Structure 1
Amino acid sequence: MPRTFAGSPVRDLLALTSRPEVISFAGGLPAPELFDVEGLRTAFDQALSRRTLQYAPTEGDPDLRGLIADRLSTRGLPTAVEDLLVTSGSQQALTLVVTALLEPGAVVVVEEPTYLAALQCFQLADARIVPVASDEHGVVPAALADVIERERPELLYLVPTFANPTGRTLSAGRRAEVAALADRHGLWVVEDDPYGELRYRGEPAPSLASMSDRVLYLGSFSKVGAPGMRLGWLRAPASIMRTLVIVKQAADLHTSAIDQAAAAAYLKANDLDEHIRGLCAAYRGRRDAMIGALPSTTPAGTRWSDPDGGMFVWVALPGEVDTSSLITAALARDVAFVPGAPFYATTPDRSTLRLSFTTNTVEEIVEGMRRLATVLRG
Structure 2
Amino acid sequence: METSWDDRYAYRMKSMESSFIREILKLTQQPDVISFAGGLPAPKIFPVKEFQEAAYRTLEENSEKALQYGTTEGYLPLREMIAKRSARYGLKVRAENISITSGSQQALDLVGRLFIDRGDKIIVENPTYLGATQAWNAYGADYLPVSMDEEGMITSELEKALHKGAKFIYVLPNFQNPSGVTLSLKRRKELVALADRYRTPIIEDDPYGQIRFEGEHIPPVAVVDSEYRGQNGGSYDGNVIYLSTFSKLLAPGLRIAWAIGAESVMRRLVQAKQGADLHTSSFNQIAVYEVSQNDFLDKHVAVIRATYKERRDAMLEAMDELFPVEVKWTHPEGGMFLFVTLPEGMDAMKLFDKAVEKKVAYVPGSVFHPLGGGENTMRMNFSFPDPDTIREGIARLGKLLKEEIYAKQDFPV
TM over 0.5: same fold? yes
CA distance in 2, matches of 1:297, 1:346: 32
CA distance in 1, matches of 2:379, 2:181: 13
The offset of 1:347, in angstroms, is 2.5
> Residue 271 of structure 1: which of 296, 300, 307 is its match?
296
Structure 1 equivalent of residue 176 of structure 2: 163
Q: 2:243 is paired with a residue of what secondary structure?
A: strand
CA distance in 2, matches of 1:44, 1:338: 36
> Residue 204 of structure 2: which of 168, 191, 216 is its match?
191
Matching of residue 19 in structure 1 with residue 30 in structure 2: yes
Structure 1 equivalent of residue 327 of structure 2: 302
> Residue 9 of structure 1: which of 14, 20, 42 is its match?
20
CA distance in 1, matches of 2:131, 2:322: 28
The offset of 1:120, in angstroms, is 1.1
Deviations 1:104-158 (A, max 9, x none): 1111000110101111122111011111122110112221112112x11011000
Q: 1:268 is paired with a residue of what secondary structure?
A: coil
User: Do the aligned partners of residues 251 and 244 (structure 1) sit closer, same or farther apart at CA in structure 2, a change above 3 Å counting?
Assistant: same
CA distance in 2, matches of 1:248, 1:94: 11
Number of positions where the alignment pairs a residue of Structure 1 with one of Structure 2 = 377
Matching of residue 51 in structure 1 with residue 65 in structure 2: yes
> Residue 63 of structure 1: which of 77, 86, 104 is its match?
77
Deviations 1:142-175 (A, max 9, x none): 21112112x1101100001100000000001110
Structure 2 equivalent of residue 286 of structure 1: 311
Partner amino acid, structure 1, of 2:47? D
Q: Which consecutive unaligned segments of at least 5 residues does structure 1 have?
A: none
Bigger Cα displacement from structure 2, 279-288 vs 46-55: 46-55
Contact 2:151-2:184 at 8 Å conserved across structures: yes
Q: Which consecutive unaligned segments of at least 5 residues does structure 2 have?
A: 1-6, 226-237, 404-413
Structure 2 equivalent of residue 122 of structure 1: 136
Contact 1:297-1:377 at 8 Å conserved across structures: no
CA distance in 2, matches of 1:352, 1:370: 18
CA distance in 2, matches of 1:134, 1:331: 29
What are the equivalent positions in structure 2 for 1:355-366 lying under 5 Å apart? 355-366=380-391
Q: 2:276 is paired with a residue of what secondary structure?
A: helix
CA distance in 1, matches of 2:67, 2:29: 34
Structure 2 equivalent of residue 105 of structure 1: 119
Structure 2 equivalent of residue 35 of structure 1: 46
Contact 2:127-2:147 at 8 Å conserved across structures: no
CA distance in 2, matches of 1:311, 1:340: 15
CA distance in 1, matches of 2:65, 2:123: 43
Structure 2 equivalent of residue 200 of structure 1: 213
Q: 2:124 is paired with a residue of what secondary structure?
A: strand
Q: 2:275 is paired with a residue of what secondary structure?
A: helix
Matching of residue 226 in structure 1 with residue 237 in structure 2: no
Superposition misfits of 4+ residues, deviation over 2 angstroms: 295-300
Contact 1:340-1:353 at 8 Å conserved across structures: yes
CA distance in 1, matches of 2:343, 2:194: 36
Structure 2 equivalent of residue 367 of structure 1: 392
> Residue 146 of structure 1: which of 131, 143, 160 is its match?
160
Q: TM-score, normalized by length of structure 2? A: 0.89
Structure 1 equivalent of residue 408 of structure 2: none
CA distance in 2, matches of 1:269, 1:204: 24
CA distance in 2, matches of 1:345, 1:328: 22
Deviations 1:239-271 (A, max 9, x none): 312111100111110000000010111112442
CA distance in 2, matches of 1:287, 1:248: 37
Q: TM-score, normalized by length of structure 1? A: 0.97
Deviations 1:70-104 (A, max 9, x none): 11111221121111000000111111111111111
What are the equivalent positions in structure 2 for 1:325-340 lying under 5 Å apart? 325-340=350-365
> Residue 255 of structure 1: which of 266, 270, 280 is its match?
280
The offset of 1:319, in angstroms, is 3.1
Structure 2 equivalent of residue 181 of structure 1: 194
Structure 2 equivalent of residue 136 of structure 1: 150
CA distance in 2, matches of 1:200, 1:207: 17
Partner amino acid, structure 2, of 1:14? L
CA distance in 2, matches of 1:97, 1:327: 33
Contact 1:105-1:128 at 8 Å conserved across structures: yes
CA distance in 2, matches of 1:127, 1:107: 6
Deviations 1:299-347 (A, max 9, x none): 2321110010111110011131111112222112211111111000112
CA distance in 1, matches of 2:195, 2:35: 39
CA distance in 1, matches of 2:353, 2:157: 38
Whichever of the two has the greater Rg, that structure is 2
Contact 1:122-1:129 at 8 Å conserved across structures: no
Percentage of pairs with the same residue: 41
RMSD: 1.1
CA distance in 2, matches of 1:135, 1:241: 33
Bigger Cα displacement from structure 2, 288-297 vs 240-249: 288-297
Deviations 1:262-301 (A, max 9, x none): 0111112442111111111111111011111113433232
